[in-house]
């Protein structure tokens, strides 16, 4: 299907609005799952590590399945995938209200809702990129704030719904709200060229002859025989040569000739199809080999390798606060009278601010985006180390705001990836990094919860989280230092099509 030039406006702004609300409705509950986490701890009586798997799966499974989500959007289009994801998210939330145990929640909330979020994210980003070119950064920035605003509102909304209707009623109502994703998805009109030919004609015109294996078998053998017999009878009637014996012999010869020709044609087409399948399998195998070779070339770039380690460690250590901060406050015996706003709501609104401010800073030419990203990692590690010393709501609220702002570094991560590997390898590299980011999201909260189960306090857990983030930040800083680049460039040459950050940033 041929797409016309992105209009950078018009219906594209409708796409931005509905994508914003779709991410708001989809990600609101999974990102604010920390409120539900407390209720699940009380309802099922399981350990903190085991219970934390529910929220970590919901947030990580979409990133882990990002290649599958991309294939679905490419095959079926953004609109059908967005509508289907609405059914998944709403259905998963409603099923979770009937969960008899924590293992049921792993599937209903963790996997079903998580996959729905991954499908919707890919659909909204894809269709927004189709409608915008010059203003693509602005459009993507606007729709990405939908998830952060959803975190801010859903944290307070879910707490209020739990007080009014209980945990089960809260999940049913939130699931019903998620059905509005269907309305948002129905407005995601694909950007098609009005001058493109009908799909059926395009399909027939583009299919090579060798695909029509049974083209010459459209008419059965009996139909061919009847047609030939009719033609012979007509010819005989014109010539007035009646001969029943000759009719019988000719019909028998005709049948034999047709069977032989039909078998030869069928064998020929089977051989052609077999050769085509062999060539297709060989071509696919070559594509897989090329993919792995390009992957190995990417990892020979020391900055990319350090970035891969940094994003994995950052999500292992930096994601748990958004899930566990409410339980940290309860463990610190903070009075509910001092609880002016859910800590998760503070994280959500400050994440929105962080995305916008860090994104603006990344556009300045005098700002090195890699060093800016490293700075956010180091500051996040320091803030995580400070959590065990926070014993009041005010200090926890301040740390929540700082962590939320620094988590906004997701908005500059694509910039860093582009500068590291180049624009031509961005899709390949970003897919790998997002897979490991999802792995970190899935593992982080359970690890912190297990630390609590072993030690019965959060201090050791957040020391571990801060150490992971700091380690990733310092490794990335070491790989990007100019003096380190100079030393390695003297000892060895970079592989072809591989870039150090210094070279790519000057391009």
CB-side exposure of 455: number of CA atoms within 13 Å? 14
pLDDT of residue 161: 94
Q: Which range has highest mean pLDDT (136-145, 185-194, 314-323)?
A: 314-323
pLDDT of residue 238: 46
Q: Distance between CA 430 and CA 277 in Å, rounded?
A: 32
Q: Distance between CA 24 and CA 174 in Å, rounded?
A: 12
CB 456, CB 331: distance < 8 Å: no
pLDDT of residue 423: 62
Band (pLDDT 50/70/90 cuts) for residue 268 is low
Please give the share of the chain, as a percent, with pLDDT higher than 90. Answer: 23
Helix axes 393-407, 320-331, angle to 10 degrees: 180
Q: Distance between CA 94 and CA 169 in Å, rounded?
A: 9
pTM of this prediction?
Answer: 0.66
Q: Distance between CA 297 and CA 286 in Å, rounded?
A: 16
Write 38-47 long-range contacts (CB < 8 A, 24+): 38/326, 38/327, 38/330, 39/162, 39/167, 40/102, 40/105, 40/167, 41/327, 43/167, 44/101, 44/102, 46/102, 47/449, 47/450, 47/453
The average pLDDT across 277-282 equals: 68
Band (pLDDT 50/70/90 cuts) for residue 288 is low
Band (pLDDT 50/70/90 cuts) for residue 263 is low
- Residue intervals in the chain for CATH 1.20.1250.20: 1-194, 275-483
Report in angstroms the alpha-carbon separations of 254 from 159, 225, 261: 83, 7, 11
Greater pLDDT, 60 or 97: 97
The average pLDDT across 21-31 equals: 91
Q: Using CA of residue 21, residue 22, residue 23, residue 27, what is the dihedral sign?
A: positive
Contacts of 294 (CB under 8 A, 6+ apart): 425, 428
Q: Which range has highest mean pLDDT (207-221, 239-253, 450-464)?
A: 450-464
pLDDT of residue 151: 85
Helix H, strand E, coil C: the string for 7-64 is: CCCCHHHHHHHHHHHHHHHHHHHHHCHHHHHHHHHHHHCCCHHHHHHHHHHHHHHHHH
Per-residue pLDDT tens over the stretch 414-445: 778 777 877 677 667 777 787 888 888 888 88
For the chain, the first-to-last Cα distance in angstroms comes to: 34
Q: Using the 8-state DSSP alphabet, how is residue 457 labeled?
A: S
Q: Distance between CA 431 and CA 70 in Å, rounded?
A: 10
Band (pLDDT 50/70/90 cuts) for residue 318 is confident
pLDDT of residue 19: 92
Task: Classify domain 275-483 by CATH architecture.
Answer: Up-down Bundle (1.20)
Q: Using the 8-state DSSP alphabet, how is residue 218 labeled?
A: S
Q: Which two tokens stand for residue 307?
A: 């970035």
Helix axes 320-331, 48-64, angle to 10 degrees: 160
Q: What is the mean pLDDT of the chain?
A: 77
CB 57, CB 106: distance < 8 Å: yes
Q: Which two tokens stand for residue 337?
A: 């009278």
The average pLDDT across 360-374 equals: 84
Per-residue pLDDT tens over the stretch 16-25: 899 999 999 9
Does the 1-194 domain belong in CATH 1.20.1250.20? Answer: yes
Band (pLDDT 50/70/90 cuts) for residue 11 is confident
- In the three-class reduction of DSSP (H, G, I as helix; E, B as strand; rest coil), residue 99 is classed as coil
Report the phi/psi class of residue 333: left, alpha or beta, with left for phi > 0 and alpha for psi in -120 to 50. Answer: left
pLDDT of residue 193: 53
pLDDT of residue 63: 81
User: Does 402 score more than 90 pLDDT?
Assistant: yes
Per-residue pLDDT tens over the stretch 229-243: 444 445 445 444 445
Greater pLDDT, 125 or 278: 125
Tokens 């301040």 correspond to 398
Q: Distance between CA 475 and CA 490 in Å, rounded?
A: 21
Q: Which two tokens stand for residue 106?
A: 């792993």
pLDDT of residue 219: 44
pLDDT of residue 272: 65
């Amino acid at each position: 299907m041929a797409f016309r030039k992105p209009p950078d406006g018009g219906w594209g702004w409708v796409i931005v609005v509905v994508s914003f609300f779709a991410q708001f409705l989809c990600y609101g509950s999974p990102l604010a799952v920390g409120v539900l986490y407390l209720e699940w701890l009380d309802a099922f009586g399981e350990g903190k590590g085991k219970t934390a798997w529910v929220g970590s799966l919901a947030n990580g499974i979409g990133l882990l399945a990002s290649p599958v989500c991309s294939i679905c959007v490419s095959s079926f289009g953004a609109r059908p995938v967005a509508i289907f994801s609405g059914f998944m998210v709403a259905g998963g939330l409603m099923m979770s209200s009937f969960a008899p145990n924590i293992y049921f929640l792993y599937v209903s909330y963790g996997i079903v809702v998580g996959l729905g979020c991954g499908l919707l994210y890919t659909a909204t980003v894809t269709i927004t990129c189709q409608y915008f070119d010059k203003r693509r950064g602005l459009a993507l920035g606007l729709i990405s704030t939908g998830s952060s605003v959803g975190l801010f509102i859903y944290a307070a909304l879910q707490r209020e719904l739990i007080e009014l209707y209980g945990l089960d009623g809260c999940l049913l109502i939130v699931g019903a709200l998620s059905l509005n994703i269907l309305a948002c998805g129905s407005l995601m009109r694909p950007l098609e060229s009005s001058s493109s030919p009908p799909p059926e004609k395009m399909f027939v015109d583009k299919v090579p002859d060798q695909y029509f294996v049974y083209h010459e078998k459209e008419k059965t053998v009996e139909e061919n025989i009847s047609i030939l017999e009719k033609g012979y009878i007509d010819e005989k009637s014109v010539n007035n040569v009646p001969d029943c014996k000759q009719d019988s012999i000719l019909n028998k010869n005709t049948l034999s000739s047709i069977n032989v020709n039909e078998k030869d044609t069928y064998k020929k087409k089977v051989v052609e199809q077999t050769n085509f399948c062999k060539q297709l399998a060989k071509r696919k195998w070559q594509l897989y080999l090329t993919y792995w070779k390009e992957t190995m070339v990417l990892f020979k770039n020391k900055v990319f390798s350090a970035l891969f380690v940094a994003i994995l460690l950052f999500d292992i250590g930096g994601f748990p606060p958004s899930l566990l901060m409410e339980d940290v406050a309860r463990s610190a015996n903070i009075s509910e009278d001092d609880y002016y706003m859910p800590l998760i709501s503070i994280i959500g609104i400050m994440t929105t601010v962080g995305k916008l401010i860090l994104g603006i800073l990344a556009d300045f030419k005098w700002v090195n985006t890699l060093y800016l990203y490293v700075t956010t990692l180091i500051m996040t590690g320091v803030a995580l180390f400070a959590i065990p010393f926070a014993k009041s709501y005010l200090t926890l609220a301040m740390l929540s705001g700082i962590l939320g702002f620094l988590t906004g570094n997701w908005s500059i991560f694509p910039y860093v990836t582009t500068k590291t590997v180049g624009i031509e390898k961005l899709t390949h590299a970003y897919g790998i990094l997002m897979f490991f980011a999802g792995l970190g999201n899935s593992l982080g909260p359970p690890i912190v919860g297990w630390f609590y189960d072993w030690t019965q306090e959060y201090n050791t857990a957040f020391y571990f989280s801060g150490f992971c983030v700091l380690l990733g930040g310092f490794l990335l800083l070491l790989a990007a230092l100019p003096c380190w680049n100079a030393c390695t460039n003297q000892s060895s040459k970079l592989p072809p099509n591989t870039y150090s950050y210094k070279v790519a940033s000057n391009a």
